[in-house]
Structure 1
Amino acid sequence: MSEKRCYTVQELQEILGVSRPTIYNLYAQAIPSLSQAQRIKQLSKEKQLSLEKMEEIMELCPDISKVTVERILTNLVKSGYIAKVGAGLSTGYVRI
């Protein structure tokens, strides 16, 4: 059985005969992407997203539907990651 090892970007360029940007694109494709809920949590951790208003989430994550955002927020409340504040149109969320 062959031994597994990590290659540097330069080694991969030489082996594959491709440019540095191509290597980075291959890395990006190989790394699993975050789920929609993980992306929302990550944005809130990085302070790019306050979770105060759903509209803010929709602006930063336009590929996630409103129904999905509502479901994710409900699950985050149930898991204790965030707390719901207010009701109706004035509903907001805060990180606990």
Structure 2
Amino acid sequence: MHSDQPINAVLITDFLKVGVFVREWAKKDELVSSSVIEEVAKRLMKSEEGDEIRKKAEELGCQVIMSTEKGGITKMEWDSFIAHITRES
């Protein structure tokens, strides 16, 4: 596993709230059983928690799209970066 995965897991589940933990990080070397995957999938598909996660994920996706469009912060930062690295000294 990569060292950024625990941080990404916390970002996705605790801060952005667009995902759920399948297992504790301390058990990272254990194989996840199909029954655990089934349980988590059902939880996401058939619960208010799953509805909320899908709603937040959709909102986040819209924000990302807007940030990459003309006038969006990501687009402006990217254009600035490209201009910086392609300028002649």
Q: Would you tell me which structure has more helix in proportion to its own residues? A: 2
Q: Would you tell me which structure has more strand in proportion to its own residues? A: 1
Q: Same fold (TM over 0.5)?
A: no
Give the TM-score category using the shorter length: under 0.3
TM-score (norm 1): 0.25
TM-score (norm 2): 0.26
Which of the pair has more CA radius of gyration?
Answer: 1
